[in-house]
Chains A and B, each alone.
Chain A
Amino acid sequence: ILNVEQSPQSLHVQEGDSTNFTCSFPSSNFYALHWYRWETAKSPEALFVMTLNGDEKKKGRISATLNTKEGYSYLYIKGSQPEDSATYLCAFPYNFNKFYFGSGTKLNVKP
Protein backbone atom coordinates (compact mmCIF):
# COMPACT_ATOMS: atom_id res chain seq x y z
CA ILE A 1 0.00 0.00 0.00
CA LEU A 2 1.37 3.38 -1.02
CA ASN A 3 0.79 6.55 0.96
CA VAL A 4 -0.92 9.37 -0.89
CA GLU A 5 -1.71 12.17 1.52
CA GLN A 6 -3.58 15.41 1.08
CA SER A 7 -3.72 18.44 3.29
CA PRO A 8 -5.63 20.15 4.62
CA GLN A 9 -8.65 17.85 5.01
CA SER A 10 -10.99 20.80 4.75
CA LEU A 11 -10.79 24.49 4.03
CA HIS A 12 -13.28 27.31 4.52
CA VAL A 13 -12.50 30.52 2.64
CA GLN A 14 -14.28 33.69 1.64
CA GLU A 15 -15.17 34.47 -1.95
CA GLY A 16 -12.18 36.12 -3.60
CA ASP A 17 -9.56 34.43 -1.40
CA SER A 18 -6.80 32.46 -3.05
CA THR A 19 -6.01 29.05 -1.66
CA ASN A 20 -3.80 26.04 -2.18
CA PHE A 21 -3.74 22.36 -1.28
CA THR A 22 -0.99 19.79 -1.09
CA CYS A 23 -0.72 16.22 -2.29
CA SER A 24 2.26 14.08 -1.30
CA PHE A 25 3.03 10.77 -2.97
CA PRO A 26 5.83 8.20 -3.29
CA SER A 27 8.70 9.55 -5.38
CA SER A 28 9.60 6.13 -6.80
CA ASN A 29 7.85 4.35 -9.71
CA PHE A 30 6.23 7.57 -10.83
CA TYR A 31 3.89 7.43 -13.85
CA ALA A 32 1.73 10.50 -13.33
CA LEU A 33 -0.24 12.47 -10.75
CA HIS A 34 -3.89 13.30 -11.34
CA TRP A 35 -6.03 16.03 -9.81
CA TYR A 36 -9.82 15.73 -9.77
CA ARG A 37 -12.67 17.94 -8.66
CA TRP A 38 -15.54 15.96 -7.13
CA GLU A 39 -18.96 17.38 -6.36
CA THR A 40 -21.58 15.36 -4.53
CA ALA A 41 -23.61 13.05 -6.80
CA LYS A 42 -21.41 13.84 -9.80
CA SER A 43 -18.51 12.07 -11.47
CA PRO A 44 -15.05 13.22 -10.44
CA GLU A 45 -13.96 15.77 -13.04
CA ALA A 46 -10.39 15.60 -14.29
CA LEU A 47 -8.48 18.84 -13.73
CA PHE A 48 -4.88 17.97 -14.51
CA VAL A 49 -2.66 15.03 -15.33
CA MET A 50 0.90 15.89 -14.35
CA THR A 51 3.69 13.75 -15.74
CA LEU A 52 6.99 15.63 -15.74
CA ASN A 53 9.01 16.96 -12.84
CA GLY A 54 8.60 20.73 -12.76
CA ASP A 55 5.30 20.59 -14.67
CA GLU A 56 3.05 23.58 -14.18
CA LYS A 57 -0.46 23.44 -15.61
CA LYS A 58 -3.24 26.00 -15.62
CA LYS A 59 -6.96 25.93 -16.30
CA GLY A 60 -8.64 29.27 -15.77
CA ARG A 61 -8.16 30.25 -12.12
CA ILE A 62 -6.83 26.82 -11.15
CA SER A 63 -3.20 25.78 -11.54
CA ALA A 64 -1.01 22.93 -10.35
CA THR A 65 2.68 22.22 -9.94
CA LEU A 66 4.61 18.97 -9.64
CA ASN A 67 7.82 17.93 -7.90
CA THR A 68 8.47 14.24 -8.53
CA LYS A 69 11.85 14.20 -6.81
CA GLU A 70 10.43 15.18 -3.45
CA GLY A 71 7.00 13.67 -4.10
CA TYR A 72 4.53 16.52 -3.88
CA SER A 73 2.09 18.51 -5.97
CA TYR A 74 0.31 21.76 -5.20
CA LEU A 75 -3.09 22.84 -6.48
CA TYR A 76 -3.82 26.57 -6.43
CA ILE A 77 -7.13 28.37 -6.83
CA LYS A 78 -6.93 32.10 -7.43
CA GLY A 79 -9.87 34.27 -6.40
CA SER A 80 -12.09 31.43 -5.12
CA GLN A 81 -15.75 31.49 -6.10
CA PRO A 82 -18.67 29.67 -4.44
CA GLU A 83 -18.88 27.36 -7.46
CA ASP A 84 -15.36 26.15 -6.62
CA SER A 85 -16.79 24.45 -3.54
CA ALA A 86 -16.09 20.74 -3.96
CA THR A 87 -13.72 18.02 -2.82
CA TYR A 88 -10.37 18.05 -4.60
CA LEU A 89 -8.71 14.66 -4.99
CA CYS A 90 -5.25 13.70 -6.06
CA ALA A 91 -4.62 10.23 -7.47
CA PHE A 92 -1.38 8.32 -7.98
CA PRO A 93 -1.53 5.58 -10.62
CA TYR A 94 0.22 2.27 -10.11
CA ASN A 95 0.27 -0.94 -12.14
CA PHE A 96 -0.55 1.12 -15.23
CA ASN A 97 -4.27 1.70 -14.60
CA LYS A 98 -5.05 1.39 -10.89
CA PHE A 99 -4.97 4.39 -8.57
CA TYR A 100 -4.15 5.26 -5.00
CA PHE A 101 -6.19 8.27 -3.96
CA GLY A 102 -5.63 10.86 -1.31
CA SER A 103 -8.48 11.42 1.13
CA GLY A 104 -9.30 14.73 -0.52
CA THR A 105 -9.48 18.37 0.49
CA LYS A 106 -13.03 19.62 0.97
CA LEU A 107 -13.23 23.27 -0.04
CA ASN A 108 -16.10 25.51 1.02
CA VAL A 109 -16.19 29.01 -0.45
CA LYS A 110 -18.54 31.40 1.31
CA PRO A 111 -20.14 34.21 -0.67
Chain B
Amino acid sequence: SAVISQKPSRDICQRGTSLTIQCQVDSQVTMMFWYRQQPGQSLTLIATANQGSEATYESGFVIDKFPISRPNLTFSTLTVSNMSPEDSSIYLCSVGTYTEAFFGQGTRLTVV
Protein backbone atom coordinates (compact mmCIF):
# COMPACT_ATOMS: atom_id res chain seq x y z
CA SER B 1 0.00 0.00 0.00
CA ALA B 2 0.97 3.66 -0.20
CA VAL B 3 0.11 6.70 1.87
CA ILE B 4 0.06 10.04 0.08
CA SER B 5 0.21 13.37 1.85
CA GLN B 6 -1.16 16.19 -0.30
CA LYS B 7 -1.16 19.88 0.52
CA PRO B 8 -2.65 22.37 0.71
CA SER B 9 -6.04 20.82 1.39
CA ARG B 10 -7.79 23.96 0.18
CA ASP B 11 -7.03 27.44 -1.00
CA ILE B 12 -8.76 30.52 -2.29
CA CYS B 13 -6.68 32.37 -4.88
CA GLN B 14 -6.92 35.52 -6.92
CA ARG B 15 -7.23 35.21 -10.67
CA GLY B 16 -3.94 35.63 -12.48
CA THR B 17 -1.89 34.08 -9.70
CA SER B 18 -0.39 30.58 -9.46
CA LEU B 19 -0.73 27.81 -6.89
CA THR B 20 1.63 24.89 -6.35
CA ILE B 21 0.22 21.65 -4.95
CA GLN B 22 2.53 19.10 -3.36
CA CYS B 23 2.27 15.32 -2.99
CA GLN B 24 4.56 13.22 -0.86
CA VAL B 25 4.39 9.40 -1.04
CA ASP B 26 5.67 7.15 1.75
CA SER B 27 7.37 4.80 -0.72
CA GLN B 28 9.25 5.10 -4.01
CA VAL B 29 7.06 4.97 -7.09
CA THR B 30 7.88 5.26 -10.75
CA MET B 31 4.85 7.23 -11.84
CA MET B 32 2.57 9.71 -10.12
CA PHE B 33 -0.68 10.92 -11.60
CA TRP B 34 -2.48 14.24 -11.32
CA TYR B 35 -6.27 14.45 -11.71
CA ARG B 36 -8.74 17.32 -11.72
CA GLN B 37 -12.43 17.32 -10.87
CA GLN B 38 -14.31 20.40 -12.02
CA PRO B 39 -17.70 21.05 -10.38
CA GLY B 40 -20.24 18.47 -11.52
CA GLN B 41 -17.70 16.64 -13.65
CA SER B 42 -15.68 13.42 -13.41
CA LEU B 43 -12.14 13.18 -12.19
CA THR B 44 -10.00 13.67 -15.31
CA LEU B 45 -6.33 12.82 -15.75
CA ILE B 46 -4.16 15.90 -16.30
CA ALA B 47 -0.73 14.31 -16.61
CA THR B 48 1.66 11.57 -15.58
CA ALA B 49 4.72 12.69 -13.61
CA ASN B 50 7.82 10.61 -14.38
CA GLN B 51 11.02 10.87 -12.40
CA GLY B 52 13.92 11.97 -14.57
CA SER B 53 11.89 13.01 -17.58
CA GLU B 54 9.22 15.51 -18.54
CA ALA B 55 5.65 14.88 -17.53
CA THR B 56 3.28 13.40 -20.09
CA TYR B 57 0.13 15.48 -20.56
CA GLU B 58 -3.30 14.28 -21.62
CA SER B 59 -5.21 15.88 -24.45
CA GLY B 60 -6.47 19.31 -23.46
CA PHE B 61 -3.79 19.96 -20.84
CA VAL B 62 -0.52 21.81 -21.50
CA ILE B 63 2.72 22.25 -19.65
CA ASP B 64 2.55 26.06 -19.62
CA LYS B 65 -0.71 25.92 -17.68
CA PHE B 66 0.08 22.93 -15.45
CA PRO B 67 3.85 22.63 -14.98
CA ILE B 68 4.83 19.53 -13.03
CA SER B 69 8.00 18.71 -11.15
CA ARG B 70 9.19 15.25 -10.08
CA PRO B 71 12.55 15.72 -8.36
CA ASN B 72 12.65 12.21 -6.84
CA LEU B 73 10.68 8.97 -6.56
CA THR B 74 8.55 10.09 -3.59
CA PHE B 75 7.56 13.67 -4.39
CA SER B 76 5.79 15.68 -7.08
CA THR B 77 4.28 19.12 -7.49
CA LEU B 78 1.60 20.45 -9.80
CA THR B 79 1.36 24.19 -10.42
CA VAL B 80 -1.85 25.78 -11.67
CA SER B 81 -0.64 28.88 -13.48
CA ASN B 82 -2.30 32.16 -14.33
CA MET B 83 -5.49 30.99 -12.68
CA SER B 84 -9.00 31.87 -13.79
CA PRO B 85 -12.34 30.96 -12.15
CA GLU B 86 -12.56 27.97 -14.55
CA ASP B 87 -9.62 26.43 -12.67
CA SER B 88 -11.75 26.13 -9.53
CA SER B 89 -11.64 22.36 -9.00
CA ILE B 90 -10.47 19.56 -6.78
CA TYR B 91 -6.96 18.44 -7.70
CA LEU B 92 -5.92 14.92 -6.71
CA CYS B 93 -2.63 13.05 -6.96
CA SER B 94 -2.46 9.29 -7.27
CA VAL B 95 -0.10 6.33 -7.53
CA GLY B 96 -0.70 2.70 -8.37
CA THR B 97 -1.72 0.31 -11.13
CA TYR B 98 -4.91 -1.18 -12.53
CA THR B 99 -5.05 -3.59 -9.58
CA GLU B 100 -4.60 -1.06 -6.81
CA ALA B 101 -4.54 2.74 -6.69
CA PHE B 102 -3.97 5.23 -3.88
CA PHE B 103 -4.87 8.87 -3.65
CA GLY B 104 -3.99 12.02 -1.78
CA GLN B 105 -6.63 13.89 0.19
CA GLY B 106 -7.22 16.36 -2.61
CA THR B 107 -6.77 20.13 -2.92
CA ARG B 108 -9.96 22.15 -3.22
CA LEU B 109 -9.09 25.27 -5.19
CA THR B 110 -11.37 28.28 -5.53
CA VAL B 111 -10.31 31.08 -7.85
CA VAL B 112 -11.96 34.46 -7.30
Question: Which one of A13-21, A40-48, A54-62, A67-75 is at the B interface?
Answer: A40-48
Residue ranges of A at the interface with B (Cβ–Cβ < 8 Å)? 4, 31-32, 34, 36, 41-44, 46, 49, 51, 89, 91, 93, 96-104
- A93-B103 in contact (CB<8A): no
B31 touches A97 (CB 8 A): yes
The number of residue pairs between A and B whose CB atoms lie closer than 8 Å in the complex comes to 58
Residues of B within 8 A of A (CB): 4, 9-10, 31, 33, 35, 40-45, 48, 92, 94, 96-106, 108
Taking the closest CB of chain A, its distance from the CB of B15, in whole angstroms, is 24
- With a cutoff of 8 Å between Cβ atoms, the chain A residues found around residue B106 in the complex are 41-43
A-B contacts besides A32-B99, A41-B106, 6 pairs, CB < 8 Å: A49-B100, A96-B97, A97-B97, A99-B43, A101-B35, A101-B42
Chain B residues closer than 8 Å to A97, beta-carbon distance: 31, 33, 96-98, 101
Residues of A within 8 A of B43 (CB): 89, 91, 99, 101
